[in-house]
Amino acid sequence: SPFCMGCWDASAKRWCGDCHLRACCEENTRADCGECGEFPCAQYREWTEGQAHHQAAMEFLMTRRQA
């Protein structure tokens, strides 16, 4: 099964090369989703459903945003 090593993993694992979230950040010149005014968007929330490590990533970005 796919395992995300982080959007900016230098090795660009095959699972993240075509990631719609990563593409959105690149198109909008954002380092990560946490820099977006719409975060967490519906697309991101859907990505986290049933995935504990994705949910943890969202929570981390939300705490960074509040800092």
Rounded Cα distance, 19 and 47, in Å: 10
CB 64 within 8 A of CB 34: yes
Model confidence band, residue 63 (pLDDT cutoffs 50, 70, 90): confident
Q: How far apart are CA 18 and CA 16, in angstroms?
A: 5
User: Quick one: pLDDT at residue 67?
Assistant: 61
Among candidates 5, 24, 23, 25, which has minimal Cα distance to 15? Answer: 5
How much of the chain is helix, strand and coil, in % rounded to 5?
A: 50, 0, 50
Beta strands in the chain (DSSP E): none
- Tens of pLDDT, residues 7-57: 655 665 555 667 888 889 889 988 888 889 999 999 999 989 998 888 888
